[in-house]
Chain A
């Protein structure tokens, strides 16, 4: 399991994609929150790739929720894709699978 969290940002067909790797926890979630809020600038749509995220806790979920709220407030789209078993398990346990827009693949996130 990657101990550190890392992220990188790219643009595909007008959608800002944030690729995240590693573990999202109390220590790394503030960095993720800052990265995602900044990614909302200058775009209409942000997709976060969680396929390489092996762990997320409630502070990470709270960061995603905060970004979702900010996106909604500014009429922007925020979508999750590549949600792994570990991340999906936390979203299900917190009853949030219906709150986020979740796509299976990057292609689906780009065309939705």
Chain B
């Protein structure tokens, strides 16, 4: 099923639940399992939260464009903002340890999605998050381990 959904989301955390609901429904329509729907929703939400915190420096009066495009093989979520460019050192993802309070959002995005791209576009930034419909990346095994 091919379709394109486009949302303009205010850079205000109160609207994140609306974006999450849309992403969750798109994922379900595309046939992802409940667990993968939750994971994909989390990954996109982390991308939106990063834009609010870093690109817009917690300014809640800006806009984020969220596009969801699907075909028979994958879902592509594109987040577009017009804020400051991301810190490449941060988005490369520092190693996780139990004392780190930051950087887990980027780690989650990469752990769940099959492809994560950051691009500078005229006047702004674009994050592309791709989920292949045949992929089980982000799934948790019964023993609690994360498949690689």
- A residues touching B (Cβ–Cβ < 8 Å)? 1, 3, 23, 25-28, 55, 57-59, 61-62, 65-66, 69, 85-86, 88-90, 92-97, 99
Contact = CB atoms under 8 A, between A and B. Distances in A.
A59 B46 CA distance: 9
A58 B53 contact: no
Interface of B: 12-14, 16-17, 20-21, 35, 38-39, 42, 45-46, 49, 52-53, 96, 98-99, 101-102, 104-105, 107-108, 111-112, 138, 140, 144-146
Contacts, number: 75
B101 A65 contact: yes
Given A3-B17, A62-B101, A90 B108 contact: yes
29 contacts: A1-B21, A25-B45, A26-B13, A26-B49, A26-B52, A27-B16, A28-B13, A55-B20, A55-B42, A57-B42, A57-B45, A57-B46, A57-B49, A58-B46, A58-B108, A62-B104, A65-B98, A66-B101, A86-B38, A88-B140, A89-B140, A90-B108, A92-B144, A93-B112, A93-B138, A94-B96, A94-B108, A96-B98, A99-B98
Contacts of A90: 42, 108
